[in-house]
Amino acid sequence: MQFDKQTAARVRDYLALHRDEIARDLKRLIRVPSIRSDALPGAPFGRACLDGLNEAIVLFRENGFEAHASEGNYYGVAAYGEGAHTVGLFGHTDVVPVGDGWDYCPPFEPQEIDGCIVGRGSVDNKAAVVISLYLLRAVRDLSLPVKGKFVVFLGAAEETGMEDIEAFVRENPMPDFSLVPDNEYPVSLGEKGICRFYARSRERISDILSFEGGLAFNVVLDRVKIGIKPDSPLARALPEAIRGKADFSFAEENGVPTLTATGITAHASIPDGSVNAAARACDLLLSLPELGDCDRAVLTRAADLLSGVHGEPFDLVCEDPYFGPVTTVNGVVSTDGGRLVLSFDFRYGTAVPAKKVEEQIDKTLARVGFDLVSIENDEGFRLPENEPAAKTVLATYRALTGDRNAAPYYSAGGTYARHLKNAFSTGTSLPGYPILKMRPGHGGEHQQDECVNVDALLGAILVTLGMATGLLDTL
């Protein structure tokens, strides 16, 4: 099928006609609070994730498409079309935790404001489910002569381990090509390696009773609560120490004097401009002479580990020619038997061997008196730019957007593409459309007030359809 100007115009008109339905269906998916929780029989990622998956499956069925959940409800699949060749469309219905401080609406009560839908999952990644649905609808309703079949994957654990895509790969034939709208435009030809680990202090804290906060590995920690021993010198000193500091508060919670520190969150793949709340709290506490020796020793070492977002704490600063700098992000902090526990999300390009990453982590933790609790290390990948399919995807984007200078890139994010063959990750909204003006740390994926411009989403449906049909034409 030739996706020419006439075909593109027909699709644009079709999507414009159905704009309100597209917005309605995205809000419908957002209303399901599909955050992972403990596994239950038939719900391997918890009840809420199963509800989110089922809502997407029902949405496809209501629109006349074959759709079903896998055995065990690890993922869903929908399909449309005929032919020996397939293009996979991959999205996920699970979301990261929401955090506090949403300005525009509660995270699972989406609102459309000035052409933008605000709500958790509006970008990452329930928008991709809507892209896949209306791509199939456009093909069917406009009787477009597509040379193959579309297979839609509906994930339920992308944010927390990707056991869903691992099950799909085990149980299904791989599509000839795959598009993963869970990134940025125009197209990513590779992804960084991702190493995630927990580290625990060898020494115990004393006057600090608890140090708790964070949402997930892949979100910069933006809020932490620190319980202080009542009637300790530290507890008495803190009210004056935070006077005039807007990023701190101090109050009694359940009989425990509690210091709350706030930062600025960001996705772990793009931490520049973020402020880690635990690092901010360590700096404040270490400035106080009332902090006891044991606590000072632990927090000094923790502050060392939290002192940079580009590999500085681990002596692994590296500017990869394709992927850019190494990033190191703390997302969760807790206490375990008086010991401080920190999570880390470490992302590195193909210029850094995975073994070296692990060696540097071991070396650094030994130096600062922390033990490695657990670790997972998933190497990245890089595709050649001159491969015909990659050139087709990029040429389609340029033709449909008019951006002749658009160039492929290599991503710091981790998507389903790393588990597939011939897979390209792309965006869920076209650039150039206005979004709401928000305070720092709001509006983006994994942030509070996550939002998407609806017209930019319509553009993404058009571009994804053009890319998909172009890939089928290469077979």
CATH number at residue 268: 3.30.70.360
Q: Which residues of the chain have pLDDT under 50?
A: none
Residues 252, 355, single domain; the answer is yes
Asked whether the beta carbons of 309 and 329 are under 8 A apart, the reply is: yes
What pLDDT is recorded for position 451? 98
User: Which residue, 378, 400, 423, sits at the end of a domain?
Assistant: 378
What is the Cα–Cα distance from 449 to 440, expressed in whole angstroms? 11
Identity (one letter) of the amino acid at 14? Y
Q: Give 95: exposed, middle or buried? Use CB within 10 Å, 0-12, 13-18, 19+.
A: buried
Residues 111, 161, single domain; the answer is yes
Residues 370, 399, single domain; the answer is no
What pLDDT is recorded for position 256? 97
Backbone phi, psi, residue 423, to 5°: -115, 140
Residues 206, 104, single domain; the answer is no
- Given the DSSP bridges, would you call strands 451-453 and 223-228 parallel, antiparallel or unpaired? unpaired
Q: How far is CA 278 from the centre of its chain?
A: 21
What are the Cα distances from residue 303, in Å, to 16, 282, 295, 337?
Answer: 51, 6, 12, 20
Query: pLDDT for 36-65, tens place per residue?
Result: 999 999 999 999 999 999 999 999 999 999
What pLDDT is recorded for position 441? 87
Domain that holds residue 65: 5-192+381-473
Residues 117, 242, single domain; the answer is no
Residues 401, 420, single domain; the answer is yes
CATH number at residue 133: 3.40.630.10
Closest CA to 101 of 415, 411, 450, 365: 450
Six-digit token string for 302: 């923790």
What pLDDT is recorded for position 2? 80
Q: What is the dihedral of CA 429, 433, 436, 440, to 10 degrees?
A: 70
What is the Cα–Cα distance from 321 to 328, expressed in whole angstroms? 18
Residues 131, 74, single domain; the answer is yes
Residues 198, 188, single domain; the answer is no
Query: pLDDT for 326-367, tens place per residue?
Result: 999 999 999 999 999 999 999 999 888 999 999 999 999 999
Residues 263, 366, single domain; the answer is yes
User: Which residue, 378, 398, 415, sits at the end of a domain?
Assistant: 378
What is the Cα–Cα distance from 184 to 187, expressed in whole angstroms? 7
Residues 182, 271, single domain; the answer is no
Secondary structure of the chain as H, E, C letters: CCCCHHHHHHHHHHHHHCHHHHHHHHHHHHCCCCECCCCECCECCCHHHHHHHHHHHHHHHHCCCEEEECCCCCEEEEEEECCCCEEEEEEECCECCCCCCCCCCCCCCCEEECCEEECCCCCCCHHHHHHHHHHHHHHHHCCCCCCCEEEEEEECCCCCCCHHHHHHHHHCCCCCEEEEEEECCCCEEEECEEEEEEEEECCCCCCEEEEEEECCCCECCCEEEEEECCCCHHHHHHHHHCCCCCCEEEEEECCEEEEEEECECCECCCCCCCECHHHHHHHHHHCCCCCCHHHHHHHHHHHHHCCCCCCHHHCCCCEECCCEECEEECCEEEEECCEEEEEEEEEECCCCCHHHHHHHHHHHHHHHCEEEEEEEEECCEECCCCCHHHHHHHHHHHHHHCCCCCCCEEECCCCHHHHCCCEEEEECCCCCCCCCCCCCCECCCCCECCEEEHHHHHHHHHHHHHHHHHHHHCC
What are the Cα distances from residue 77, in Å, to 88, 129, 301, 417?
Answer: 10, 11, 47, 17
What is the Cα–Cα distance from 340 to 210, expressed in whole angstroms? 9
Q: Say if residue 276 is preceded by a cis peptide, omega within 30 of 0.
A: no
What pLDDT is recorded for position 358? 96
Residues 173, 58, single domain; the answer is yes
What pLDDT is recorded for position 413? 84
Q: Give 181: exposed, middle or buried? Use CB within 10 Å, 0-12, 13-18, 19+.
A: buried
Number of domains in the chain: 2
Residues 372, 389, single domain; the answer is no
Asked whether the beta carbons of 211 and 335 are under 8 A apart, the reply is: yes
Task: List, in sequence order, every residue forming a beta bridge with 336; answer none if it has no partner.
Answer: 339
Closest CA to 182 of 417, 377, 361, 18: 417
User: Which residue, 357, 378, 399, sits at the end of a domain?
Assistant: 378
Task: List, in sequence order, every residue forming a beta bridge with 378; answer none if it has no partner.
Answer: 194
